[in-house]
Amino acid sequence: MAKHLGWDVIEQEWRKGPWTAEEDRLLIEYVKLHGEGRWNSVASLAGLKRNGKSCRFRWVNYLRPDLKRGQITPYEETIILDLHARWGNRWSMIARTLPGRTDNEIKNYWRTHFKKKSKASPNNNEKAKARLLRKQQFQQQQQQQRQQINQVDTKKMMSYLPDENENGVPSLAHQVRQEMATTMNPNTAEEQGLLYSMFIGYAYVPETPKEDNILWEGFWNLDDNAHGNLGIACAPNKACLQSLATPFY
C-alpha cells in the first residue's frame, strides 16, 4: 500500500487503470457528502486508493449526473468543428458551449474523427486562415453592434444577418434570411441549433455565467463558392442548413 522512499518519506501507492463499480460508488458517495473539490482528501475520506487527480477526472468525465451520454450529434459536431477552427485545441472552452459534454470527450472525438481528415487536406489550412482573417476584420467593424446583442433568439439572429459582407458583396446571408423567414420555422432545439451554427463566428464568453451571453459576429464561414447561388441550388430546408453549417473542412 505505501512505499518507503527513505528520509522518512512515505509515498502512497495509488491504484491506476480502469475504475471498478465499487470505486465509482465510493466516489459518488463522497461527492454527495462533501461536494466537488478537495480531491486530495478523497483517499482518506472515501477510502479510495486513488489520487486526487484521478478522482476529479473520473467525476468530471464519467460520474457527474449532468453528463450527456450517447453519440455526438450532427449539431454538436458542427459546433465542435466551428469552434476548433476558431479557437484551436481549447477543449475545455469548446466543452463549455456543449452542455453535458466534457473536454476529454470532445478531444477524443476530434482526434478520432477529424485529425486525419485535416492532415489529408493541408490546403484547407490556408483556406481556414483566410476565412479567419476576413472574420477578424469584420469583427472589428461590428464590435459595437455585437456588444448590444445579448440574447440567443432566432428572430434576433435573423435580424443580425448582414445584408452585405465585408467586401460589400450583396449577400448570400440576405437571401438565406429571406428564404428562411418565409419557409422555415425553427421551433425545435435541433433546428434552432442548426440555425445557430450557421452563424458560426459566434463567441461564447466564458467569464460571464449567463448562457445567453453569446455574440453573433457574422456570416462568413459559408463556403466561398456558394455566394449568390444559394436560392437556386439549395432550398432552405434542414438538410441544406446542415450542409451550410459545416464549412471548415
Residues that bind DNA (CB under 7 A): 15-19, 37-40, 50, 52-54, 56-58, 60-62, 89-93, 103-105, 107-109, 111-113, 116
Please, what is the minimum distance in Å from the beta carbon of residue 16 to DNA? 4
Q: Which residue's CB is nearer to DNA, number 15 or number 238?
A: 15
In the block, which residue shows the cell 448570400?
172
Cβ closest to DNA, residue 129 vs residue 156? 129
- 234 CB contacts (<8 Å, ≥6 apart)? 226, 240, 243, 244
Nearby residues of 108 by Cβ (< 8 Å), 6 or more positions away: none
| CB neighbours of residue 35 within 10 Å | 8
> Between residues 62 and 204, which has the closer beta carbon with respect to DNA?
62
CB of 143 to DNA, least distance (A): 24
Comparing CB distances to DNA, the nearer of 112 and 225 is 112
In angstroms, what is the minimal distance from the CB of 17 to DNA?
A: 5
Residue with cell string 461564447: 204
- Least distance from C-beta 140 to DNA, angstroms? 25
d(CA 167, CA 172): 13
Q: Which residues pair with 12 in a beta bridge?
A: 2
For residue 161, the one-letter residue type is L
